[in-house]
Structure 1
Amino acid sequence: MSKYRNPALTVDTLIIDNNKIVLIKRLNNPFKNHWALPGGFVEYGEKVEDAAVREAKEETGLDITLDKLVGVYSDPNRDPRGHTVTVAYIAHIIGGKLHSDSDAKDAIFIEIDDLKDVDLAFDHEIIINDASL
């Protein structure tokens, strides 16, 4: 009898403010010390929208409102830890102050035009390109 396995569910959020986007520097592997979109795992019983807002607060200190869905990303190789599916959103800031927390080593605002010079974790470059910022 084979063991049934499911992919893990995650969220990623493009937090936009005045032509800038928030990136976090990852504290842990995989992609330790790489820049990434704020995000993380959806908890059991949690809506993906609530997880996106929670993860943004935990990693950046910012309170956000989700504006729109960017897409769902399910490449089994997008995360070296195993198969994850992420739901990605665009959001804007409604409060808080940017600072790193949780599993983020740093948090910054970066000009959207400067993203081309940043080596991003996971498939976050694809997600950002799909958002057509």
Structure 2
Amino acid sequence: MSFSSLTCPSCGAAVKQYRNPLPTVDIIIELDTRIVLIKRKNPPHGWALPGGFVDYGESLEAAAIREAQEETGLSIHNLHLLGCYSDPARDERMHTITTVFIAQASGVPQAADDAADLDLFLPDTLPSPLCFDHAGILADYRSFRASRPCASSPIHF
């Protein structure tokens, strides 16, 4: 277990604090036969799935819906869990654990918030570089879709 020290503002004594991974969400947004990827505005730079940190008091599903709207302008529906990814090295900035969802959307995506740009890609022709562990996540997605090609097929774990 890892600890960091803080100083008590009243007496100046060191206070022990637990260090825990931060929860995030990523969303594989299916738009027709393609998926939406954003080009990150902030480091690490490169292409990534839309997503971000879960706010205090927010469910994972609500965070996914919010992040999709903030970064792409899309309202998503038919939200399904793909999986969770927890490699401590998945994000070079800090230890995060992400919950990845698959969702469908309609409309015209627009880059916003943390997205400098966005584009639509076929799952087997992805740009480079992909940030974080998104290449592995998208490989899992392609395997999942190969076994369940219909986007409306329920996902059971």
What TM-score do the two structures reach when normalised by structure 1? 0.90
The residue number in structure 1 matching 2:120 is 109
Aligned length: 129
The residue number in structure 2 matching 1:98 is 109
Greater RCO (Cα-Cα under 8 Å, separation 6 or more): 1
Q: How does 1:8-87 map to 2 (within 5 A)?
A: 8-29=22-43, 31-32=44-45, 34-87=46-99
Identity of aligned residues (%): 50
In structure 2, which of residues 112, 129, 140 is the aligned counterpart of residue 130 of structure 1? 140
Q: Which has the larger radius of gyration?
A: 2
Q: CA deviation at 1:2?
A: 4.1
- 3-state SS of the aligned residue for 2:55? coil
Any conservation in 2 of the 1:49–1:66 contact (CA below 8 Å)? no
Unaligned runs of 5+ in 2: 1-14, 146-157
RMSD: 1.4
Any conservation in 2 of the 1:25–1:35 contact (CA below 8 Å)? yes
Q: CA deviation at 1:5?
A: 1.0
Q: Which amino acid aligns with 1:7?
A: P
* Partners of 2:30 and 2:133 in 1: CA distance: 18
* Partners of 1:120 and 1:77 in 2: CA distance: 15
Q: Which amino acid aligns with 2:69?
A: K
Any conservation in 1 of the 2:24–2:98 contact (CA below 8 Å)? yes
Structure 1 outlier segments of 4+, above 6 Å: none
* 1:98-123, Cα deviation, whole Å (9 max, x unpaired): 110001000111122212x5321000
Unaligned runs of 5+ in 1: none
* Partners of 2:121 and 2:140 in 1: CA distance: 18
* Partners of 2:48 and 2:140 in 1: CA distance: 15
